[in-house]
Amino acid sequence: MDIKIRKAKDKDLSSILQLYAHLGMDDGSILTLKQALKIFGRIQTYPDYNLYIAVAKGKVIGTFALLVMDNLGHTGTRSGVVEEVVVHPDYRRRGIGGRMMKFAVDYCRKRDCYKMALSSNVQREDAHRFYEALGFKKHGYSFIVEFADYPNKQKKGD
């Protein structure tokens, strides 16, 4: 399958939002297009934070976000953070996720990052096997603070 990975554009957001519904987070709720456009505009103001898509035959079949950030620690060496990785269920187990992660790793290497990290919900064991098969290693612990008003945060993008 011929797949192209590229930076997302405004016109891709509807397809990306539909992919997020497949992640199973937020009970399948997704932003409105208006909310997404506002947030996407803000993302584009970051120095090296991009939303990428995997496209096959003109259809958006996967997406991920990648932030490369500067650090004062690690002697100023950059690091990468991957978020919101999803491949459409009809296209899983075809190497698309692996190609997206290879793209992200190569991107981080070219920017002299000392690491690229991602987090995955402890219950997503299939995802863990996928990342480990790609050479990712469990490292440390992931800690979060959950806020009681989280569902109301969607309004923030209005």
CB distance 78 to 69 below 8 Å: yes
Question: How far is the C-alpha of 71 from the C-alpha of 22, rounded, in Å?
Answer: 33
Question: How far is the C-alpha of 47 from the C-alpha of 151, rounded, in Å?
Answer: 28
Sheet with 49-56: list strands edge to edge: 4-7, 49-56, 59-69, 79-87, 116-118
Each domain of the chain, given as residue ranges in start order, spans 4-157
Confidence band for 152, pLDDT divided at 50, 70 and 90: low
Q: Tell me how far the alpha carbon of residue 150 is from its chain's centroid.
A: 20
> Per the CATH hierarchy, to which homologous superfamily does domain 4-157 belong?
Gcn5-related N-acetyltransferase (GNAT) (3.40.630.30)
Tens-place pLDDT, residues 18-70: 999 887 767 778 899 999 999 999 999 999 999 999 999 999 999 999 999 99
Tens-place pLDDT, residues 75-124: 999 999 999 999 999 999 999 999 999 999 999 999 999 999 887 766 77
Q: Which two tokens stand for residue 5?
A: 């990975």
pLDDT at residue 151, rounded to an integer: 61
Q: Please name the amino acid found at residue 41.
A: G
**At residue 89, what are phi and psi to the nearest 5 degrees?**
-55, -35
Q: Which two tokens stand for residue 121?
A: 């919900």
- Cα pseudo-dihedral 29, 144, 38, 57, rounded to 10: -60
